Amino acid sequence: MAKEMRKEIFALKKEIGDMGNLVLGMLDDAMKALATQDIELAKVTVNKKHKIRELDADIEAKALRLIALYQPMAIDLRRLATILKMITYLARIGRYGKDIASVVEELSRKKPYPAPFVNIQHMWEHTKSMIVDALKAFEESDSKYYANFEQRDDEIDEMRWSIFRECITYMMEDAKTITPCAFFIMISRYLERCGDNACKIAEKVHYMVTGEHKEIT
C-alpha cells in the first residue's frame, strides 16, 4: 500500500510541475505581450486563467483523496500538505500573470513607454528566477535552490520602490505619462507579490524536507 501511495504522490508532484510551468508561461507571455504591445497574445494569456482554476481544483481533490485513502504520515503527509499549499501560491502567481496581460490593450495606446518599463523587465527576470528555483527546490527536495531567497527578495523589493520613485518623477514632469506609469507601479507590485509567493513555496518545501518551519522575510 505504501508503494502505491508514493507512486500516486509522485504523480501528483508531476502535476504540480505542470501547473508551475503553466503559470510561468502565463507570466512570460504577459510580459512579452507588454513589451511588444501584442494584444492577441495578451488575450490568450488571460484565457489561461480557466486552466489554472481547473488544475487547482483537480490537484486539491486528488491530494485530499490520498490523505483520506492512505492516512500518510511523516514526509508523505508533509508532501501532500505542501502540495495543497503550493496550488494556492501558484494560482496566485498565475492570476498576477492574467492581471498584467489584462492591461496590455490599454497600455498599447501609450507609445512609446516611459523609461521605467525597462526596469520592469529587469525586475521580471529576477522574479522569474525565484519562481523557477522554488519549483526546482520542490521537485528535487533540495534547499540549495532557496538558500539566498531572503537577499533576492530584498533586491526585488528595492526594484519595486525604485520603479515607484522613478514613475512618480515622470508623472510630475509630464502628465502624459501618468496612465502608463500608474500601470507600471501596479505591475511592479504584482511582480513583487510573485516573488513573495516564491518565498512561501520555499518555506513549505523546507517544512516538507525537514519537518521544521522557516520564515523567509
CA–CA separation, 41 and 49 (whole Å): 14
Residue 82, C-beta contacts closer than 8 angstroms, at least 6 positions apart: 138, 204, 205, 207, 208
Alpha-carbon distance of 133 to 114, in angstroms, equals: 31
Cβ pair 51, 22 in contact under 8 A = yes
**pLDDT over 80 (residue 141):** yes
Q: How many domains does the chain have?
A: 1
The CATH code of the domain that includes 128 is 1.20.58.220
Structural domain boundaries, residue 41: 2-210
pLDDT digits (tens, 9 = 90+) for 62-95: 999 999 999 999 999 999 999 999 999 999 999 9
Confirm whether 105 is domain-assigned.
Answer: yes
Report percent pLDDT > 70 for the chain.
Answer: 100
> Grid coordinates in use for 24?
510561468
pTM given for the model: 0.95
How confident is residue 102, by pLDDT bands cut at 50, 70 and 90? very high
DSSP string, 50-91: HHHHHHHHHHHHHHHHHHHHH---HHHHHHHHHHHHHHHHHH
* Model pLDDT, residue 110: 74
Query: Does 217 reside within a domain?
Result: no
Of residues 5, 141, 15, the one with CA closest to residue 67: 5
What is the per-residue pLDDT across 5-47, written as a single tens digit (0 to 9) for each? 899 999 999 999 999 999 999 999 999 999 999 999 999 999 9
Cβ contact 205:149 at 8 Å: no
Classify residue 215: in a domain, yes or no. no
Q: Is 211 left (phi over 0), alpha (psi -120 to 50) or beta?
A: left
Greater model confidence, 157 or 3:
157
CA 104 from chain center: how many Å? 19
Rounded alpha-carbon distances, angstroms, from residue 176 to 59, 97, 105, 166:
46, 26, 17, 15
Q: What percent of the chain is predicted at pLDDT more than 90?
A: 90
Query: Is the residue at 51 inside a domain?
Result: yes
Instruction: In whole angstroms, give the CA distance from residue 56 to residue 139.
Output: 18
Q: How far apart are CA 194 and CA 197, in angstroms?
A: 5
Is residue 85 one of the residues assigned to a domain? yes
Is residue 216 in some structural domain? no
The verdict on residue 180 lying in a domain is yes
